[in-house]
A and B are shown apart, each in its own frame.
Chain A
Amino acid sequence: MKYALKRVGMLLVTMLLVSFLTFLAFQLVSGDPVRTMLGTEATEAQIAALRSELGLDRPFFVRYFDWLCGFFTGNLGTSFSYRQPVWDLISSKLEITLLLSLISFILITVTSIPLGVLSYQWVGGPMDWVRTAFNQLCMAVPPFFTGILISWFFGIALRVFTPGDFPGLHTNPAGALRYLFFAAVCLSIPRAAMTVRMMRSTVISEMNKAYVRTAISRGNDRRTVLMAHVLKNSLVSVVTFLGQTMAELVGGSVVVEQVFGIPGLGRLLVTSISHRDYPVVQTLVVILAFWVVLAGTLADLVNQYIDPRLRLGGAV
Chain B
Amino acid sequence: MLEIKDLHVKFHNRDREAVAGISLTIADGEIMGLVGESGSGKTVTAMSIAGLLPRKQCQLSGDILLDGQDLLHARRSELRKLHGKKIGVVFQDPMSSMDPLMRVGKQVGEVLRIHARDKDDAAQKAMVLQALADVELPEPEVIYHKYPHELSGGQQQRAMIASAIVIRPSLLLLDEPTTALDVTIQAQILELLKKLNRETGISMLFISHNLNVVRKLCSRVAVMQRGELVEEGGTDTVFFHPRHPYTQHLIASIPTRSGKELR
Interface residues of A (CB under 8 A from B): 209-211, 213-221, 228-229, 232-233, 306-309
How many B residues have CB within 8 A of the partner chain?
30
Report if A210-B80 is in contact (Cβ < 8 Å); known contacts: A232-B101, A307-B100. no
Q: Does B261 contact A (CB under 8 A)?
A: no
- Pair B147/A309 contact, Cβ less than 8 Å: yes
Q: Does B81 contact A (CB under 8 A)?
A: yes
- Pair A218/B110 contact, Cβ less than 8 Å: yes
Query: Which of B52, B88, B114, B147 meets A213, CB within 8 Å?
Result: B52
- The complex places the Cα of A232 from the Cα of B103 at a distance, in Å, of 13
- The complex places the Cα of A218 from the Cα of B80 at a distance, in Å, of 8
When distances are taken between beta carbons in the complex, the residues of chain B under 8 Å from A221 are 76-77, 80
- The complex places the Cα of A309 from the Cα of B103 at a distance, in Å, of 12
Report if A217-B99 is in contact (Cβ < 8 Å); known contacts: A210-B93, A309-B147. no
- Majority secondary structure of chain A interface residues (helix, strand, loop or mixed): helix
Q: Does B163 contact A (CB under 8 A)?
A: yes
- The complex places the Cα of A314 from the Cα of B52 at a distance, in Å, of 37
Report if A217-B149 is in contact (Cβ < 8 Å); known contacts: A211-B99, A233-B100. no
Say how far A167's CB is from chain B's closest CB, in angstroms: 45
For A210, give the chain B residue with the smallest CB separation.
B96
- The complex places the Cα of A308 from the Cα of B98 at a distance, in Å, of 14
- Pair B115/A214 contact, Cβ less than 8 Å: no
- The complex places the Cα of A306 from the Cα of B99 at a distance, in Å, of 13
- Pair A213/B91 contact, Cβ less than 8 Å: yes
When distances are taken between beta carbons in the complex, the residues of chain B under 8 Å from A233 are 99-101
Q: A214-B99, A217-B50 are in contact. List 7 more A-B contacts (CB 8 A).
A: A210-B93, A216-B52, A219-B81, A220-B114, A221-B80, A307-B100, A307-B101
- The complex places the Cα of A233 from the Cα of B84 at a distance, in Å, of 22
- The complex places the Cα of A306 from the Cα of B114 at a distance, in Å, of 24
Say how far A301's CB is from chain B's closest CB, in angstroms: 16
- Pair A309/B83 contact, Cβ less than 8 Å: no
Q: Does B85 contact A (CB under 8 A)?
A: yes
- Pair B96/A218 contact, Cβ less than 8 Å: no
- Pair A218/B163 contact, Cβ less than 8 Å: yes
Q: Does B200 contact A (CB under 8 A)?
A: no
- Pair B80/A209 contact, Cβ less than 8 Å: no
Query: Which of B77, B80, B82, B91 meets A214, CB within 8 Å?
Result: B91
- The complex places the Cα of A209 from the Cα of B114 at a distance, in Å, of 21
When distances are taken between beta carbons in the complex, the residues of chain A under 8 Å from B129 are none
For B111, give the chain A residue with the smallest CB separation.
A218
Ordered by A's residue number, 18 sampled pairs between the chains whose C-beta atoms are within 8 Å are A209-B96, A210-B93, A210-B96, A211-B96, A213-B52, A213-B97, A216-B83, A218-B83, A218-B111, A218-B114, A219-B84, A219-B111, A232-B102, A233-B100, A307-B101, A309-B100, A309-B147, A309-B149
